[in-house]
Amino acid sequence: MASLLKLSLLARRLAPLTTWTRLVTTTTATATPSTASTATSHATKDAKKELLAKFGNLTPQPISIAELLRADRATFAYLSSEIPIRLANMVLELELLPEQLLRQGNCAAILKDYVTSFGEVVAFEALEEPVTAEQLQSFCDTLVSLRRRHLDTVPHMAEAVVRMNQEGVTAGVASSVAYFLDRLYANRISIHMLMSQFMAMQGQDRAVTGLVGVLDPQCNIEEVAREAYATAALLCDQEFMDHPHLVVTNQDVTDPAAPWDTAVTAAYVPAHLHHIFFEVFKNSMRASCELAEARGLLEVPPVRVGIYRSADDITVKISDRGGGMPRRVQRRIFDYSYTTAADAEIPDAEPAGLQGDAVPMHGLGYGLPLSSLYARYFNGDLRVASVHGMGTDTSVYLSNLSSKAEEGLPVFGDVSRRRLTSTAKVAQDWTDMSGHSYD
C-alpha cells in the first residue's frame, strides 16, 4: 500500500514540473541573444506561477504519529511531493490577503520568502528514486535553508498585523486576517514537523534518548509538564520574585486497579507539549502572583495539574486560583491581537525565532492561540473555562491512540478563498457552536 501511494504521489506531481521545464525551454529557444536573459526570467516567473496554481489545487496528505514513527513513511519521496503542496497552499492564501496587510513590509517579505522556498524545494520533486547520496544531502541542505529562512515568520507577521491595526481596519478585514493567521501558522507547524522528523531520522532509527526522530513513543506527560513549569517559574521569579508551587496527580481511568500516581505516557512530540504547557503555566503564574499581591496573601495559591488517561484521550487539566476572568475577556483569549498583559512594544532588534530575547511574544497575545494550534495539530484540543473571582481551568486534550493522532491541515479551496476575500462585516450567528475550524 505504501508503494502504491508513493507511486501515485510521484505520478500525479511529475506533470507540473515537466510543464515548467518545457515552458522555459521553449521560450529561451526562440529568443534572440539580447533578450534571452529577460525571456528566461519571465518564463521562469510565469512557469512558477503556473506551478503554484497546480500544486495549490492539490490536497495535502496528512500523516499520523503512528506513521511518523515508521522509518519508511516520512521519506524523501513523501516530503519532496508533500512540502511543495503545503507551501503552494500558503502562497496562494498569502496572495489573497487584504491590501492593508499585504502592503506591510514584513508581510510582503514573508510572501516573497515562501515563493522562494517553493521554487527551491519543488526542484527535487522530479528526482527518481533511489536518490544518490549527493542528491539526498542537497535536499537536506535545502530543508535547513528553508527552516532558517522562515525562523521569524511568527514575530514578523505579528509586527505586520500590529502595524495594520495601528492604521485602522474594519471588523471584516480583522476577521479575514484572523482566519488566515490560524491557517498560516497551522501549515507552518506541519511543514516544520515534517522537516524536523525527516532530518532527525537520517542515519538512525532511534536515538540514545529513546526518541524516534523528534517523537517520543513513551513521552512522560508529567515530566514534560514539570520541565515547562520550571522554565516558566524562572520568568515568574524575575518579575514577581516568587512563583506558585506545582501539585501534580496522575490517573489511568482505563484501569481501576492501577495506582493513583501511575505515570501517563503517550506517543507525542515533547517540544510541542512543552510549548503548550509553558504558555498555560506562564498565564496561570502571572494571574496567581498578581492576585496574591492584590490581596496581600502570604503565599501564592498553587497551580494544580491533573493528568488522566481514558480509552480515547489523555486530558491534562491545569487549574489555578488566580482570580479568573470575566466572560467578555474569555471570549477573546484566542484572538491574536488580544492580550490581558501590558502592551508590548515592537522591538528594534532583529528577532531570532520564538526564543529570541527581543521577540515581544509576551503582551502580543500569541501564546494561547499558537498553543491551541499545537494541540489541535495532532487531533487534540485546548479549552479554557474560568470562574471570575476564583480561577481558571485549562484542559489540554491529546489523542491516546497514535494512529488517531493525525495532522489537522488547512486546505486551500473555494471555501478558504471566499473567507479570505470577503471582508464585509457579518453578524455573528449565535447558533453557530462549531468553534475553531481550518476549513
CATH of the domain at 339: 3.30.565.10
313 Cβ contact partners less than 8 Å away, ≥ 6 residues apart: 380, 397, 398, 399, 400
Candidates 82, 93, 125, 279; catalytic one:
279
Give me the pLDDT at residue 401, please: 87
> CB of 174 within 8 A of CB of 337?
yes
Instruction: Mark whether 271 and 190 lie in a shared domain.
Output: no
Count of domains forming the chain: 2
Q: Residue 265: is its pLDDT beyond 60? A: yes
54 catalytic? Reply is no
Which residue type sits at 147? Answer: R
b (16+ CB within 10 A) / e for 185-198: bbbbbbbbbbbbbb
Candidates 89, 187, 283, 400; catalytic one:
283
d(CA 60, CA 79): 11
Q: Residue 272: is its pLDDT beyond 70? A: yes
Instruction: Mark whether 141 and 257 lie in a shared domain.
Output: no
pLDDT in tens, 296-341: 999 999 999 999 999 999 999 999 999 999 999 999 999 987 766 5
Nearest to 359 by CA among 149, 155, 104: 155
50 catalytic? Reply is no
3-state secondary structure labels for all residues of the chain: CHHHHHHHHHHHHHHHHHHHHHHHHHHHHCCCHHHHHHHHHHHHHHHHHHHHHHHHCCCCCCCEHHHHCCCCCCCHHHHHHHHHHHHHHHHHHHCCCCHHHHCCHHHHHHHHHHHHHHHHHHCCCCCCCCCCHHHHHHHHHHHHHHHHHCCCHHHHHHHHHHHHHHHCCCHHHHHHHHHHHHHHHHHHHHHHHHHHHHHHCCCCCCCCCCCECCEEEEEEHHHHHHHHHHHHHHHHHHHHCCCCCEEEEEEECCCCCCCCCCCCEEEECHHHHHHHHHHHHHHHHHHHHHHHHHHCCCCCCCEEEEEEECCCEEEEEEEECCCCCCHHHHCCCCCCCCCCCCCCCCCCCCCCCCCCCCCCCCCCCCHHHHHHHHHHHCCCEEEEEEECCCEEEEEEEEECCCCCCECCCCCCCHHHHHHHHCCCCCCCCCCCCCCCCCC
Nearest to 101 by CA among 161, 156, 153: 161
Question: 146 versus 30: which is more confidently predicted?
Answer: 146
Give me the pLDDT at residue 391, please: 97
pLDDT interval class at 204 (50, 70, 90): low
Q: Residue 404: is its pLDDT beyond 50? A: yes
- On whether residue 439 sits in a domain, the answer given is no
Q: Residue 370: is its pLDDT beyond 70? A: yes
Give me the pLDDT at residue 22, please: 38
283 catalytic? Reply is yes
Instruction: Mark whether 371 and 252 lie in a shared domain.
Output: yes
Instruction: Mark whether 134 and 233 lie in a shared domain.
Output: no
- On whether residue 429 sits in a domain, the answer given is no
Residue corresponding to grid cell 476572568: 325
Q: Which domain holds residue 318?
A: 216-408
> Euclidean distance between the first and final Cα of the chain, in Å?
28
- On whether residue 139 sits in a domain, the answer given is yes
Quick one: cell of 263? 505515570
Q: Residue 187: is its pLDDT beyond 80? A: yes
Q: Residue 31: is its pLDDT beyond 50? A: no
- On whether residue 304 sits in a domain, the answer given is yes
> CB of 342 within 8 A of CB of 246?
no
% the chain with pLDDT above 90: 66
pLDDT in tens, 149-178: 999 999 999 999 999 999 988 888 988 999
Question: 87 versus 260: which is more confidently predicted?
Answer: 87
pLDDT interval class at 353 (50, 70, 90): very low
Instruction: Mark whether 42 and 7 lie in a shared domain.
Output: yes
Other C-beta atoms closer than 10 Å to the C-beta of 135 total: 16
Q: What is the mean pLDDT of residues 67-80?
A: 91
Give me the pLDDT at residue 338, please: 72
Other C-beta atoms closer than 10 Å to the C-beta of 161 total: 25
- On whether residue 301 sits in a domain, the answer given is yes
pLDDT interval class at 438 (50, 70, 90): low
- On whether residue 415 sits in a domain, the answer given is no
Question: 354 versus 196: which is more confidently predicted?
Answer: 196
Give me the pLDDT at residue 27, please: 36
Instruction: Mark whether 173 and 273 lie in a shared domain.
Output: no
Q: Residue 423: is its pLDDT beyond 70? A: yes
Q: What is the mean pLDDT of residues 113-138?
A: 94
> CB of 45 within 8 A of CB of 92?
no
d(CA 296, CA 252): 38
Residue corresponding to grid cell 495532532: 378
Instruction: Mark whether 196 and 257 lie in a shared domain.
Output: no
Of 169, 200, 231, which residue is a domain's last?
Answer: 200
- On whether residue 424 sits in a domain, the answer given is no
Instruction: Mark whether 178 and 222 lie in a shared domain.
Output: no
Question: 401 versus 8: which is more confidently predicted?
Answer: 401
Instruction: Mark whether 167 and 220 lie in a shared domain.
Output: no
Give me the pLDDT at residue 340, please: 63
Give 88's Cβ-side CA count (13 Å radius). 25
Give me the pLDDT at residue 209, please: 74
Instruction: Mark whether 32 and 141 lie in a shared domain.
Output: yes
Instruction: Mark whether 26 and 162 lie in a shared domain.
Output: yes
Instruction: Mark whether 39 and 116 lie in a shared domain.
Output: yes
> CB of 438 within 8 A of CB of 180?
no
Q: Residue 34: is its pLDDT beyond 70? A: no
Which range among 203-212, 280-289, 345-354 shows the weakest confidence by mean pLDDT?
Answer: 345-354
pTM recorded for the entire structure: 0.85
- On whether residue 68 sits in a domain, the answer given is yes
> CB of 351 within 8 A of CB of 358?
yes
pLDDT in tens, 275-285: 999 999 999 99
> CB of 181 within 8 A of CB of 336?
yes
Please report how the helices 105-122 and 133-149 are oriented relative to each other, as an axis angle in degrees rounded to 10. Answer: 170
pLDDT interval class at 208 (50, 70, 90): low
Q: What is the largest CA-CA distance in the chain?
A: 83
For residues 138, 57, 402, 246, the Cα torsion angle rounded to the nearest 10 degrees is: 90
Of 200, 226, 255, which residue is a domain's last?
Answer: 200
279 catalytic? Reply is yes
Which range among 175-189, 207-221, 339-353 shows the weakest confidence by mean pLDDT?
Answer: 339-353
Candidates 82, 187, 275, 400; catalytic one:
275
Candidates 282, 379, 400, 407; catalytic one:
282
CATH of the domain at 32: 1.20.140.20
